[in-house]
């Protein structure tokens, strides 16, 4: 299929080989309707400007209604959106840094659980032997459990953020 550049957003628009001269195509990105250069009538391409005949045709002026202005601004905005989308698609995908994934949070969870569980067992076995140090060791165990909870919550949050 032949291609033509959209005059509004410059994206490639395909049109059928058997399209008739003078037929128009619509850009899928910005909805601009135009006639590809190869389908323009030959006499239109070769037509010279004659101020006597074409006086009304080539008048330059502003649009007279707000609806026409709005249509032009909507076409411009859609062309700009299409250009931004093409630019974003052309960029290479961003690789997450080593600290952005759920692996780090799972590591924090593993350290908290791996250190907190044996420590909790040791604390339970030596509970009767301890005197005033009980409160200190309870706080230490709570810190390990809190680290495990933060790691698990962070890994769940990172997984949800990535897989939404």
Domain boundaries, the chain: 1-59, 102-163
Q: Express the helix, strand and coil content of the chain in percent, nearest 5 each.
A: 55, 5, 40
Q: How many CA atoms lie within 13 A of 38 on its CB side?
A: 13
Higher per-residue confidence, 39 vs 50: 39
What is the structure's pLDDT at 18? 85
Lowest mean pLDDT among 21-25, 45-49, 139-143: 45-49
Q: What is the pLDDT of residue 37?
A: 83
pLDDT at 52: 60
Residue 49 pLDDT greater than 70, yes or no: no
Secondary structure of 5-74 as H, E, C letters: ECCCCCCEEECCCCCCCCCCEECCCCCCEECCHHHCCHHHHHCCCCCCCCCCCCCCCCCCCHHHHHHHHH
pLDDT of 111-163, one tens digit each? 777 777 787 788 788 888 877 777 787 788 788 778 877 877 877 777 777 77
Question: Residue 107 has which token pair?
Answer: 């590591």
Under the banding of pLDDT at 50, 70 and 90, the label for residue 29 is confident
Burial of 88 (0-12, 13-18, 19+ CB in 10 A): exposed
Report pLDDT digits (tens) over 64-101. Answer: 566 666 677 788 888 888 888 888 888 787 776 666 66
pTM score of the predicted model: 0.30
Query: How far is the first Cα of the chain from the last one, in angstroms, to the nearest whole number?
Result: 38
pLDDT band with cut points at 50, 70 and 90 for residue 8:
confident
Q: What angle do CA 102, 104, 109 make, to 5 degrees?
A: 95
């Amino acid at each position: 299929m032949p291609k033509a550049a959209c005059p509004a957003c410059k994206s490639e628009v395909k049109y059928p080989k058997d399209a008739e001269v003078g037929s128009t195509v619509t850009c899928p990105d910005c909805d601009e309707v135009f006639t590809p250069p190869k389908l323009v009538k030959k006499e239109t391409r070769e037509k010279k400007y004659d101020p006597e005949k074409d006086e009304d045709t080539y008048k330059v002026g502003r649009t007279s209604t707000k609806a026409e202005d709005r249509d032009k601004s909507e076409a411009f905005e859609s062309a700009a959106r299409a250009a931004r989308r093409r630019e974003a698609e052309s960029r290479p995908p961003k690789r997450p840094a080593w600290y952005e994934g759920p692996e780090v949070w799972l590591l924090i969870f593993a350290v908290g659980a791996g250190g907190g569980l044996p420590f909790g067992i040791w604390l339970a076995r030596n509970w009767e032997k301890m005197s005033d140090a009980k409160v200190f060791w309870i706080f230490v165990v709570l810190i390990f459990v809190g680290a495990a909870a933060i790691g698990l919550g962070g890994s769940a949050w990172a997984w949800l953020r990535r897989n939404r």
